[in-house]
Each structure stands twice: as structure tokens, then as C-alpha cells.
């Protein structure tokens, strides 16, 4: 059995799959009501996500741990606030308390994802994104910047389709109504 060079066999996730993995694990850990358990599960899920994600999707995964942690904590605090005399007050206090207790774990999980992704090829993903953005900018400048100074970048506008703002009354145009 031959394999491509540099390719490891096994399970590979998309960025969405890895984000979903981290989210579900963190949300389930919120039921433990212990910030240590939630933090450990979050860090382990982040590590699993970054190790299982496809290398070309590392950039998408690296930026999401804070958002995932916040949304899981928000849902947990919202569920915990039901039945309280003041829903808004209970939600605010619960969210503040949970985010404050989880902040060190959030930073640790984010740093863990960034560090592992760096060694897995994050720099190549960033380089590819920069090259793509440069190519798009150059194509836009070539298409819309003819006759202008080369140093000034003109914004590129997409015109509206012909007749886009002409209203139709009950399925017919105004010209057809006159006939």
C-alpha cells in the first residue's frame, strides 16, 4: 500500500467540522458547572480539532475558539437563567461569571490552537491568502484602473443590472399599460 508523501492516513475534518467538534464538546462540558472541567474539555477539543482539520483550512479554525467559547457559554448561561425572577439580570451575572472563570482556559485553548496550527502549516495558508488577495487586487486595478495613475487604487463598483430599479405593477411594465 503506497501513500502520498507527507500525507497522513486517518480522519480529516473540514474547518466547519472541527469548529462543530469544539462547540459541541464545550457545550456538553458546560453541564458540569465547573470552570475547570469546561476549560479542560475546551482545550482538549481545541487540540483535537486542530490536529484533525485539513491543513488548507487551518486559517479558518485558528480564529474561531474565542467565538465558540463565547457562544457555548452564552447558551449555557441562557439555559441557567430560565426560571429566575429577572431573566436579564440572571443572564448578565451568569455570563459574566462564566466568562471570567473561563478566561484563562480560553486563552490557553486559543494559544494551543495557534501553536499547533503554526507547526502544521498555518504560515503557508496565510501566504496563499495574501497571494490570492494580491491577485484579486491586481485584477480589479487592471479592469477598472485604466488611464489612472498606477499608485492610486480606484474602488471597483459593480453596476446594477439594467432596469433593476424600474418597478413593475402587477407583473407588467408601465409601457405595456399604455398600449
Q: What is the pTM of this model?
A: 0.68
**CA angle, 40 as apex, 39 and 44 as ends, to 5°?**
120
DSSP output for 50-74: HHHB-GGGHHHHHT-HHHHHHHHHH
In tens digits, the chain (179 residues) has pLDDT values of 444 445 556 678 888 999 999 999 999 998 887 889 999 999 999 999 999 998 888 888 899 999 999 999 999 889 888 888 888 888 888 889 888 998 999 999 999 999 999 998 888 888 888 888 888 888 887 876 554 455 555 555 555 555 555 555 555 555 555 55
Give CA–CA dist 108/39, Å, rounded: 9
Beta bridge partners of 13: 53
Q: The C-alpha cell of 130 is what?
A: 495574501
DSSP output for 13-56: B-HHHHHHHHHHHHHHHGGG--HHHHHHHHHHHHHHHHHHB-GG
Amino acid at each position: 500500500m503506497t501513500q502520498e508523501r507527507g500525507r497522513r492516513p486517518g480522519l480529516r475534518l473540514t474547518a466547519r467540522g472541527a469548529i462543530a467538534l469544539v462547540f459541541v464538546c464545550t457545550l456538553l462540558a458546560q453541564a458540569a458547572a465547573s470552570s475547570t472541567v469546561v476549560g479542560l474539555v475546551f482545550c482538549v477539543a481545541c487540540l483535537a480539532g486542530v490536529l484533525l482539520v485539513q491543513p488548507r483550512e487551518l486559517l479558518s479554525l485558528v480564529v474561531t475558539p474565542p467565538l465558540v467559547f463565547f457562544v457555548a457559554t452564552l447558551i449555557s448561561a441562557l439555559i441557567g437563567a430560565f426560571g429566575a425572577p429577572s431573566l436579564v439580570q440572571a443572564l448578565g451575572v451568569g455570563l459574566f461569571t462564566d466568562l471570567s472563570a473561563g478566561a484563562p482556559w480560553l486563552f490557553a485553548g486559543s494559544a494551543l490552537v495557534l501553536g499547533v496550527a503554526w507547526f502544521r502549516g498555518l504560515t503557508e495558508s496565510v501566504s496563499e491568502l495574501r497571494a490570492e488577495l494580491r491577485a484579486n487586487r491586481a485584477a480589479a486595478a487592471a479592469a477598472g484602473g485604466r488611464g489612472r495613475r498606477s499608485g492610486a487604487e480606484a474602488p471597483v463598483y459593480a453596476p446594477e443590472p439594467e432596469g433593476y430599479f424600474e418597478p413593475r405593477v402587477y407583473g407588467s411594465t408601465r409601457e405595456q399599460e399604455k398600449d
